[in-house]
């Protein structure tokens, strides 16, 4: 697949390198002019050329950036990997929650795109080919378009994940809260190599 990744931070680079290892054609859509070892383009060009787009920018920028590319994202699968994390008071907190989520706000900003929330409940080190003693971890996803979730599920399964679909995009409220549980455990233990796994069902 041709995958356009918006954002050249830790998330964008980890996904780009991991997807490229699996034979996907990746490009990072960024305001930067170069990134070592990875192809870059403007956000507009990266979206235009892509079969699938990943939104991997800072949470505070995600809705505005997605909205500005709305016309180019029409019909495309858009993975929203972002979290509404606010570190301004020291301890992290969510700046959206309970009755709303970034996933829903992104979907509203790009009504023609098929948004799938994914990758937000785990650290970048495990995004692609996670190797854990307990076997494949579970990526929790949410979105309104079943076909889009099917495409994302296939991508996740080929890169080492089990997938649990929590339903429509409003379930992003729970996925974004799960990020806080992941961060809290890491902050308490000082380790960042953990992931969730759903057992039974």
CA distances (Å), 140 to each of 34, 167, 170, 196, in order? 32, 10, 13, 9
Q: Min. distance of Cβ 200 from ligand NAP in angstroms?
A: 26
Among 4, 24, 30, 172, binds ligand NAP (CB under 6 A): 30
Which helix (DSSP H) or strand (DSSP E) does residue 30 occupy?
none
103 binds ligand NAP (CB under 6 A): no
81 binds ligand NAP (CB under 6 A): yes
- DSSP E strands, 30-110: 40-41, 52-55, 77-80, 85-86, 93-94
What does the alpha-carbon distance between residue 51 and residue 142 come to, in Å, rounded to a whole number?
19
**Nearest position to ligand NAP, beta carbon:** 9
11 binds ligand NAP (CB under 6 A): yes
82 binds ligand NAP (CB under 6 A): yes
107 binds ligand NAP (CB under 6 A): no
- The residues near 90 (Cβ < 8 Å, ≥ 6 apart) are none
21 binds ligand NAP (CB under 6 A): no
List residues binding ligand NAP (CB under 6 A).
Answer: 7-12, 30-32, 56-59, 61, 65, 81-83, 85, 119-120, 123-124
């Amino acid at each position: 697949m041709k995958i356009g990744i918006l954002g050249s931070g830790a998330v964008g680079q980890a996904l780009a390198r991991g997807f490229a290892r699996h034979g996907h054609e990746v490009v990072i859509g960024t305001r930067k002019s170069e990134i070592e070892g990875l192809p870059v383009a403007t956000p507009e060009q990266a979206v235009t050329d892509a079969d699938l787009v990943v939104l991997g920018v800072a949470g505070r920028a995600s809705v505005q950036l997605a909205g500005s590319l709305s016309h180019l994202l029409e019909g495309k699968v858009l993975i929203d990997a972002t979290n509404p994390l606010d570190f301004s008071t020291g301890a992290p907190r969510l700046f959206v929650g309970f009755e709303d989520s970034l996933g829903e706000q992104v979907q509203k900003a790009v009504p023609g795109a098929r948004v799938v929330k994914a990758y937000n409940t785990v650290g970048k080190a495990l995004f692609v080919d996670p190797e854990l003693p307990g076997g494949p971890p579970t990526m929790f996803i949410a979105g309104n378009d079943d076909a889009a979730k099917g495409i994302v599920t296939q991508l996740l399964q080929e890169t080492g994940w089990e997938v649990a679909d929590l339903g429509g995009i409003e379930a992003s409220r729970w996925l974004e809260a799960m990020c806080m549980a992941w961060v809290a455990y890491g902050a308490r233990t000082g380790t960042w190599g953990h992931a969730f796994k759903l057992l039974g069902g």
